[in-house]
Structure 1
């Protein structure tokens, strides 16, 4: 089990290094990430490299039994590079050039940035490919964290190349983008620009393609560096750190290119839903490469510095969140960072070694966690019986304006995840095109954009005996963001037992209600479909008498379709029935929602994620868990 964090020795005099490795031994640190932001130290001028200091620190770490996740240092170009090649800087959609003084100030498609980054990585990889301290490689850092998309001249050129490869000729692009609307037809690819700031909203088909291009072009940066490392003879696994459900990069595509998934996760301790958002991110990371250990690359030992008001983690909370990651498939717990910076933007960001040193609660909790992980080994948690469809391209399509209502895709998906999490139902995330046959139930909220392969996969799943739960606004457009001939949900109409004819946005002030077959009154939200039932059975009606929840038998399986979106009470009402039909059981039934239970290869990990003591019922009798206390159940205890 890995334990450690980002180590930035270049920020400190050599005299501190010996103290660092001594304290690392006390804390049980066995892995540190080195060199993430050290480009200026490694290459003080073009063509000039200084590895002497890095040689010494890697040798020192190795001599003390501490392994290294070696970074390529390309996340923050040094000032000399920007002065020599100012066109490497990224540009916003309104034409503003983003300058020096922070980090990630590069255009991903800049030829000069790519060339110089490649030269740096080549030198690093040649020198350290076989260094005994290096056990993994860390490419760049948190891609697109600050610059979500670049609109520079380099981006425009690369976008045109990407489009020509995708569409071959300009008429196919015109068809795909529907450019006959508003006189947008292009005569050649040379006329196409990125969707920069315009008088009103941009063509949604063009914006969707630009988001695809952005994810692809940044991914090509990663694969460029990865391939350089491999060409130098390095055999260690290579990764880059993801950022949970980050909206701008399609991590399904990225997961295919990394040897293992690593993730940075910074939930807000003040947020009562924080541990559920963290669980969502950790289940998502596990799901991106099933069966392969993922790594919690960064979390805060205590507070961060970048919110408007930064709450400290409560005593025990850091350990509870760390145990959550391990239970959900991480093979280690790493932090940003090892020693708290004396200067710079992150000097108030907590670290494993705070400014107050070993006197602090943070240090004591770090040491306690390190000791507790000393003899732990990774195990692959079961995938569970329930899958949630999470699709980045659908997310991008829903982020467009000009829809019947604004639909926050992450919030909608999270609401269903939260309801399952509160009942301790084990969940994995999937793409609609994945093999779904191992699951008993699939939930597909707000799956607006759905390709033919995805629709066939969902249909096959239900036909084979699965339970599919969908919300309103499912299967509305194809992968180009076009309507299909015949209306809405035409691919899934047979599965759903009917089809929507139209949509109407609703507000809470509209006072709409849903009346169920058992007498419950629920609240619809966001929008309502005018849904025509063909074969399904109606379980709930809108106040107008129109169907709200439709159940339909299709082949050997069953679909539950909501013609609206529900609040938490409505989601719980629907899930109760769907889970019963799917015969899905809780990992730990009857526990309070603040109790998190995860099935592992060895048993069940149970975490009290609250500040008060909670009693849980076990086969061996009641057990009381204190604030943020963790227990690992085995055998008869389960």
Structure 2
């Protein structure tokens, strides 16, 4: 048994039968069975059909859909249908509609048209969920509850009066007293001292820069407010159907929601991912997000949505060329997914997503896309035995949402060019290229068992987090602009790197952001750097640099030329390395750290080939448009073809090998 009662790997997609006459439903389930579909996500946007009038439910059509699915061996990921309120709710209670920062109330006609703090919306949602749980809790098709949909996709925040009241209550719970709030927010600056909580408002559009700690707390609050909506529905489902797992579909690495907190509140992690087929590097960024999904609960997860071919919301919606749909699905499995689901099953004829691809295209079973669907379904049946297996990683990347929110404050920073996703990718890209397994970790997670921990940026760092990192007995790498502020976004005494000063052995004398187009070169110090790094040429740095005051650290590289000429750029104290700049290529530094830590790739692969391991299964994915040749370090059986492989092999363009070998753990993670 995997993440649900469905055995093997999950395959299917969002199914919207309410968009089609009932005679089409029979064809749908017949074709699902033919393709090997074993799960369908249903009722995501069905509130207005399930409750056409207040308190009046129409479940008959959904009864028939679930019965049909079950008769054909298809399980249901049953949504609670609360992703969009029905028209009657927002017309009877217009205060449910969200308000933007400029005070404009957003109209009904799209989706997620609700204020997360609205008690009217919350009460109505809970009533619907209770009715659905009571009706379908014992239905044999039910395998998974799907709460809401893509939280914060359209509405992350609302600035209405109800949200303001909720925000004030959240602040009072966090700080206890107005004096505590004033101290944390530093309200003596710009005359913002409060004498009562009811004087506080959300950070709406203002004449100038808004208090950055107010904005930070607003980010925390907005994530928590939406999480409260999720938890209200989850509480009903756990009461009525305690044996049915609960999920909600994440949106890869999303700035607005702290997924560490969210994942702790659900039973199964699931994700929606839409890499751009027109971007030849998009598979790297999506691999990073998949590693996050696997890391959130340290167990397999579900890719709940992806596109069979083109999407409908980019400026140019490129289709997936032959082989890419299959390769993208195998990539998710390679990074720990136990299911490859899609949006959607049957391509819509109307609405904003009528040009969004589907497993069953407009052209029906004669279309190229249908042949791709059949092939993938067969492949997933061949790969069923990988379900439940885990990944062991020696390297961890640190991701902290509080620090991210503080780093990307909208105003009043030394530079607005520092973007956390870019910083993460600058380290992840070379790790991915050489086949090194990577976990993502929050700032306080147990680090034992890792050999290398990389914090590309930790702008916000508490003394507790610093002690945690200092106690790590492996190799630590810290990127620039780290240890700058505390949890209230206040600069640490003595400046950066704050509580990281002792483990790093230095102080940042002055931040030195680089104007667009300016390059600062960084050259290794002869005799200090070792291995490949010692022989590296000067590496360009852009966007950011720092004037360091080294106290108890070895200088590995210095700035060359420009205003920082001769100043330390990269240092090391013990096994802790600090980079004060954004290098164009961190490979020389990374290579030295990995070698010192004894970290090896899961396989030696040529350019364009991605290598990952799940238990005894080695995935080799060729993202290139030409065949790739490589030597296998160990023989095995390719589950996709049944062939026994050893020695030199060739992987066709946009193709893959999934090798069953004798190495690695068979289930679970570290």
TM-score, normalising length: structure 2? 0.92
Q: 1:511 offset after TM fit, Å?
A: 3.6
Quick one: distance in 2 between partners of 1:340 and 1:321?
Answer: 20
C-alpha root-mean-square deviation of aligned residues, in Å? 1.3
1:191-210 equivalences in 2 (<5 Å): 191-210=199-218
- The answer for the alignment partner of 1:19 in structure 2 is 27
- The answer for the alignment partner of 1:147 in structure 2 is 155
In the alignment, which of 643, 651, 663 is matched to residue 625 of structure 1? 651
In the alignment, which of 453, 456, 467 is matched to residue 464 of structure 2? 453
Q: 1:172 offset after TM fit, Å?
A: 0.5
- Does residue 510 of structure 1 match 2:514? no
Quick one: distance in 2 between partners of 1:151 and 1:207?
Answer: 13
1:483–1:637 distance in 2 versus 1, CA, 3 Å: closer
- Does residue 583 of structure 1 match 2:593? no
In the alignment, which of 349, 365, 382 is matched to residue 391 of structure 2? 382
- Does residue 436 of structure 1 match 2:453? no
- The answer for the alignment partner of 1:604 in structure 2 is 618
Quick one: distance in 1 between partners of 2:618 and 2:518?
Answer: 45
- The answer for the alignment partner of 2:415 in structure 1 is 405
Q: 1:234 offset after TM fit, Å?
A: 4.2
Quick one: distance in 2 between partners of 1:166 and 1:446?
Answer: 26
Q: 1:175 offset after TM fit, Å?
A: 0.4
- Does residue 172 of structure 1 match 2:183? no
Quick one: distance in 2 between partners of 1:610 and 1:214?
Answer: 41
- The answer for the alignment partner of 2:554 in structure 1 is 537
Q: 1:22 offset after TM fit, Å?
A: 0.4
TM-score, normalising length: structure 1? 0.97
- The answer for the alignment partner of 1:419 in structure 2 is 430
Quick one: distance in 1 between partners of 2:572 and 2:235?
Answer: 50
Q: 1:583 offset after TM fit, Å?
A: 0.9
Quick one: distance in 1 between partners of 2:105 and 2:606?
Answer: 51
Stretches (4+) displaced over 6 A: none
Quick one: distance in 2 between partners of 1:436 and 1:601?
Answer: 21
Q: 1:145 offset after TM fit, Å?
A: 0.2
- The answer for the alignment partner of 2:348 in structure 1 is 341
Unpaired runs of at least 5, structure 1? none
- The answer for the alignment partner of 1:523 in structure 2 is 540
The question of whether the paired residues in 2 share the 8 Å contact of 1:130 and 1:234 is answered with no
Quick one: distance in 2 between partners of 1:612 and 1:334?
Answer: 27
Q: 1:519 offset after TM fit, Å?
A: 5.5
Quick one: distance in 1 between partners of 2:306 and 2:344?
Answer: 8
- The answer for the alignment partner of 2:3 in structure 1 is none
1:370–1:483 distance in 2 versus 1, CA, 3 Å: same
- The answer for the alignment partner of 1:552 in structure 2 is 573
Number of aligned positions between the proteins: 627
The 3-state SS of whatever aligns with 2:555 is strand
The 3-state SS of whatever aligns with 2:557 is strand
Quick one: distance in 2 between partners of 1:442 and 1:384?
Answer: 11
Quick one: distance in 2 between partners of 1:160 and 1:151?
Answer: 12
1:5–1:579 distance in 2 versus 1, CA, 3 Å: same
Quick one: distance in 1 between partners of 2:480 and 2:470?
Answer: 17
Quick one: distance in 1 between partners of 2:266 and 2:599?
Answer: 33
1:554-569 equivalences in 2 (<5 Å): 558-568=575-585
The question of whether the paired residues in 1 share the 8 Å contact of 2:78 and 2:142 is answered with yes
- The answer for the alignment partner of 2:637 in structure 1 is none
Q: 1:111 offset after TM fit, Å?
A: 1.0
Query: In terms of mean alpha carbon deviation, does 280-289 or 525-534 score higher?
Result: 525-534
Q: 1:508 offset after TM fit, Å?
A: 5.2
Q: 1:531 offset after TM fit, Å?
A: 0.9
Unpaired runs of at least 5, structure 2? 1-8, 526-534, 634-645, 665-670
Q: 1:618 offset after TM fit, Å?
A: 2.0
Q: 1:637 offset after TM fit, Å?
A: 11
The question of whether the paired residues in 1 share the 8 Å contact of 2:96 and 2:121 is answered with yes
Q: 1:151 offset after TM fit, Å?
A: 0.9
- The answer for the alignment partner of 2:483 in structure 1 is 475
1:81–1:481 distance in 2 versus 1, CA, 3 Å: same
The question of whether the paired residues in 2 share the 8 Å contact of 1:327 and 1:381 is answered with no
1:26-45 equivalences in 2 (<5 Å): 26-45=34-53
Quick one: distance in 1 between partners of 2:602 and 2:323?
Answer: 24
The 3-state SS of whatever aligns with 2:542 is strand
Q: 1:635 offset after TM fit, Å?
A: 3.5
- Does residue 363 of structure 1 match 2:370? yes
